[in-house]
Structure 1
Amino acid sequence: MTAIDFAAFIDQLAAVSGETILPFFRTSLGIDDKGPAGHFDPVTAADRAAEQAMRTLIRRTFPEHGIIGEEFGQERAEAEYVWVLDPIDGTKSFIAGMPVWGTLIALTRLGEPVFGLMNQPFTRELFSGDGLAAEYRGPAGKRKLRTRPCAGLSDAILFTTSPLLMDENDRATFRKVEERVKLSRYGGDCYAYCMLAAGHIDLVIETGLKPYDILPLIPILNGAGAIVTSWDGGPAGLGGAVVAASDPRVHAAALELLR
């Protein structure tokens, strides 16, 4: 079976998660802090309910598949096919009523992501990819995703969720790149990567990512023509410090400063 065999099912996962999450958005909801002291890491009933809904659908449809999720851990992580779920990437934006969050879903085969999707049910936008091509579906219709050319850092628009999420050393390294770009903006979480795939920005630099934060985005980014690696140029799928770029020239210039 190939990733395309699962495309309709991934749309079902997106639909059930969106239907679960939307009644919570922009309401008064309880917030738990699962972070260590001094590091606010919120989780809500919407996060947990959406992941449970997706897990239930996966177990019923593909009982032999594995699941890795942000809220409820691993099941059969050694299986050939494993689903990687982040029910709300951007929970801090979610609890603030800002629409720059999304549900991330990846399908991996033998540890490699073969299909990824980001669903933003509030704006009714879906970004998907299989590493070879990527697609947008939303109120404006359907279109292929493609990154834009960018000659160098001085022409680049850079996004990160927040430098405050970085440790002191990584923040100082990030600043070396930030000082060179045309425009630097903060916020976005998964939405920033999708804007890079859509050709609106040129560079996203993050640290402290978990696999479920980035694995679903890799097939979208690669399918749109982007380059995504760790700061040392290695694979990005394990998370940690990640850089995604629209153009090889921008990626090379950023990597030179980040290494």
Structure 2
Amino acid sequence: MIWAATGSRPNPRNLFMMNHADFLNFALDAAWQAGRVTLGHFQTGVSVRRKADNTPLTIADQQAEQKLRQLIEQYWPDHNIVGEEYGNTQNNSPYTWVCDPIDGTKSFMCGVPLYANLVALLYENEPIVGVINLPALNEMVYAVKGGGCFWNGRPAHVSATKNLADAVVLRSELENQERYGRQEAWQKLVDASYVQRTWGDAYGYSLVATGRADVMLDPIMALWDIAPLQVIMEEAGGVLTDWLGEATIHHKECIATNGHLHSEVLSLVK
């Protein structure tokens, strides 16, 4: 358990005493516990049903979010919660926990280990903590605002690639570029870059934050998909913006780069 490294769990009555590091430790533990829930169903032939938007849903998604909500409500009962499967819990707090119990359910249901549990904390709608837990890979990439980015406990940093012609560029869904009018922009990136792969969803952003890829982009994102990513990318030395260059998690799209390549990427996709 992550908490074992820092002592006892916080007393929710002393919220005003908590600093960002305490929030991060809680987020790490919560994401780890959600990951253990998902691993109990991973590669077991778990049944899948389709939601109204045709995206897949498994009992692992539901149980993992239930675990996250249980922990948040136990230790931060005054905070708001936003989750993919169970909606919003509003407590009129400046703090909001945002949870994606399984980011990459399509990978999960296929038995592919490139899925994640995502936990973020927003303060007045701006991210201050972000965690990407990749339980089937035994990897965590995480950051706290002003405290740096880490990959399994060691400092993480974006790549030093300065030329798009040398860059590794990633995306998620194959059809989304065309569906959301971004196919021409994607083709420009393909033509200008060295390697292109669909190591997508949160896994792709973890690769950029740890210097294993240089650019990751999505033309459509929900808040729970993107909430942890900005603070992670910025603390790793990179940049995350929407497709017009605004640094935000609230525009339902994003581009993450190592920073050196951001202006060139934006010039191709705008």
TM-score range normalised by the length of the shorter chain: over 0.9
Counterparts of 1:226 and 1:136, CA distance in 2:
15
The aligned residue for residue 191 of structure 1 is: 203
Read off the aligned partner of 2:151 and give its amino acid letter. Y
Read off the aligned partner of 2:191 and give its amino acid letter. E
Residue 193 of structure 1 aligns to a residue whose secondary structure is helix
User: Which whole-Å deviations, capped at 9, do the CAs of 1:18-72 have from their partners, x for residues lacking one?
Assistant: 2211110001211111143xxx411110001000111011111111000000111
8 Å contact from structure 2 (residues 143, 232) kept in 1: yes
Greater share of strand residues, 1 or 2?
1
The aligned residue for residue 205 of structure 1 is: 217
The aligned residue for residue 143 of structure 1 is: 154
Residue 247 of structure 1 aligns to a residue whose secondary structure is coil
8 Å contact from structure 1 (residues 101, 188) kept in 2: no
Read off the aligned partner of 1:99 and give its amino acid letter. P
Read off the aligned partner of 2:30 and give its amino acid letter. L
Residue 254 of structure 2 aligns to a residue whose secondary structure is strand
The aligned residue for residue 163 of structure 1 is: 174
**Farther off after superposition, 189-198 or 170-179:** 170-179
2:71 pairs with 1:57: yes
Read off the aligned partner of 2:150 and give its amino acid letter. E
**Farther off after superposition, 42-51 or 148-157:** 148-157
The aligned residue for residue 23 of structure 1 is: 40
In structure 1, the gaps of 5 or more residues are none
The aligned residue for residue 172 of structure 1 is: 184
**Farther off after superposition, 2-11 or 119-128:** 2-11
Alignment size in residue pairs: 251
- Under a length normalisation based on structure 2, what TM-score does the superposition of the two structures give? 0.89
2:26 pairs with 1:9: yes
Counterparts of 1:106 and 1:63, CA distance in 2:
16
- Supply the RMSD in Å over aligned alpha carbons: 1.4
Counterparts of 2:38 and 2:90, CA distance in 1:
26
1:2 to partner: Cα distance: 2.7
Counterparts of 1:217 and 1:209, CA distance in 2:
11
Counterparts of 2:203 and 2:142, CA distance in 1:
12
- Under a length normalisation based on structure 1, what TM-score does the superposition of the two structures give? 0.93
Match of 1:221 among 223, 233, 251: 233
Match of 1:86 among 94, 100, 120: 100
1:152 to partner: Cα distance: 2.1
Read off the aligned partner of 1:71 and give its amino acid letter. E
The aligned residue for residue 103 of structure 1 is: 117
Counterparts of 2:253 and 2:75, CA distance in 1:
34
1:247 to partner: Cα distance: 2.7
Runs of 4+ aligned structure 1 residues displaced above 4 Å come to none
8 Å contact from structure 2 (residues 108, 114) kept in 1: yes
User: Which whole-Å deviations, capped at 9, do the CAs of 1:188-238 have from their partners, x for residues lacking one?
Assistant: 310111111111110001111011111112111111001000000113301
In structure 2, the gaps of 5 or more residues are 1-17
Distance change (3 Å), C-alpha of 1:239 and 1:71: farther
